[in-house]
Every structure is written in C-alpha cells, then in structure tokens.
Amino acid sequence: MAKLVFDIETSALPLPSFDEVQQEYLLREAEKLTDEAARATKREDILRQFNLWPFTAQVVCIGMLNAETQRGQVLFIAEDFEESPGDSGPVAFTPCADEMELLATFWDVAKHYDEIVTFNGRGFDVPFLYLRSAVLNVPISKKNWLGYRFATEPHCDLAEQFSFYNVSGREGAARKFNLDFYCKAFGIASPKAHGVTGMDVNTLMAEGKFRDIAEYCLRDVRATVELYRVWKERLAGIK
C-alpha cells in the first residue's frame, strides 16, 4: 500500500496581526519580569516560539513523496505563484497564492493515500495541519492521522518509533533525538547539510526566498524516507 511521506514548514504571523488582548496573553510571561533586559530576552524567546503554534503561525510549505516511487510534490507559498517553475522530474515544485490554496491542494493529494510516514508528525505536523485547516475552513480529507499512538498504521511517526514511544524518557537509552542526529547516526545525508534549518524560515520568507524553503523542506522529506527504510528493514516489529 502506497505511503505518503511529508513534512511542513511554518512561519510566524506578525505580532501586530493580533489584537491588544491577544498580545497581552501571548507576552504575559515576559511582562511579569521586572528586569528590563530579562523581559526583552523572554519576549524574543516567545516570539521565536510563534512558529510552533498553529494560532500564531501559518503553513508556508509542504513537501510530499510517495515512499515507494520517490515521486512527489512540494507546495509552497510564493509571490510569483502564477508562474509555473517548469520543473521536470519526479518532484514537482508548485507555488501557491496563499495558505488556503496550499492546504486545499495538500488535502486533495492526501485523500489518495491510506497511510503516512512522518518524523514527529503526531506531535507537530498533523495537529498543526488540522488546526490551521480548521481556522481557514479548509476541508480535511483525512481525519484519522492521529490514530492510536502505539500503532504504525495509518501513521508511522519515526520520532516515536526510534524512541520506542519515549520508553526511557529524556535521559535513557532510547531518548529522542532530532532528525539531523538520526540521519548522521545512520549515514543518511542530513537535510541541514546545506546550512538551512527550520529556524531560518521566517527570514527566508521575509527575503522572498520561497524556493529555498521548498528545497529545504524536500530535503527533510527525502531524509525521512531514508530513515523510514532503516526502521522498516532493521527495527519494525519490535515490541
């Protein structure tokens, strides 16, 4: 059965897009501090976390690959969305006008797959997609992806598989590492090797480097595919 491997990139919404009450709520922990320098540091820390929350950030890119065929698509928000990039090959880069179009296109693709593979998708990507789609009233074609945590169908979350569902906590033998670390451990090309990380997405968006975000996202997906192969061949079935 064909499996869809995907990854998302998110970008923080600007603070002025929230009203005064929302801003007060978001920055409350910073405003409690009396020291000005500490307050400013805490404020910046909170703003950096905006990328992680679906009510303070938007999805700006989704990379997808068929685990078996390696064919796929990268959807990304871009200002020149009306122009086709003219890509040829197994992966199509598709610019979108906005997040609503991006999400709608993604869910249209997703309905053709019964199973998915992610890295930390149960903890981040899937709930983020669900909530952003709900905010924008974009119909969700697959509502079972959170599923039963201790099952690999329909959702195989590699972050949970390589930590054996966090069996040993943060300090034990099966502690969770990030995708970059696992890739290096298993001899897989790291998606961070080109000097771009998820922390750079806000800056790249501001600079209009939309294709750079798309290519970084695709590297993440390709690394996830390779890590899935390692898990399937060497670890699948361990209970």
pLDDT in tens, 87-132: 658 999 999 999 999 999 999 999 999 999 999 999 999 999 999 9
Average pLDDT, the chain: 94
- Model confidence at 86, pLDDT cuts 50, 70, 90, reads low
**Cα separation of 228 and 5, whole Å?**
9
Q: Which CATH superfamily is domain 3-234 in?
A: Ribonuclease H-like superfamily/Ribonuclease H (3.30.420.10)
Higher pLDDT, 168 or 195: 168
Average of per-residue pLDDT across 186-200: 84
Residues 6 or more apart in contact with residue 22 via CB below 8 angstroms: none
- Model confidence at 196, pLDDT cuts 50, 70, 90, reads confident
Q: How far apart are the first and last CA of the chain?
A: 23
> What was the pLDDT predicted at 134?
98
> What was the pLDDT predicted at 169?
87
Residue 121: which of 94, 98, 147, 100 has the closest Cα? Answer: 147
pTM for the full predicted model: 0.94
- The CA-CA-CA angle for residues 134, 136, 138, to 5°, reads 70
Average of per-residue pLDDT across 191-214: 88
- Model confidence at 84, pLDDT cuts 50, 70, 90, reads low
In three-state secondary structure terms, 88 is coil
**Cα separation of 123 and 197, whole Å?**
19
Is the distance from CB of 213 to CB of 198 less than 8 angstroms? no
> What was the pLDDT predicted at 193?
77
Average of per-residue pLDDT across 172-191: 95
Least confident span in 21-35, 153-167, 190-204? 190-204
**Cα separation of 105 and 75, whole Å?**
8
Backbone angles phi, psi at 74, to 5 degrees: -120, 115
Domain residue spans of the chain: 3-234
* Cβ count near 4 (within 10 Å): 22
pLDDT digits (tens, 9 = 90+) for 15-73: 999 999 999 999 999 999 999 999 999 999 999 999 999 999 999 999 999 999 999 99
Strand partners for 191: none
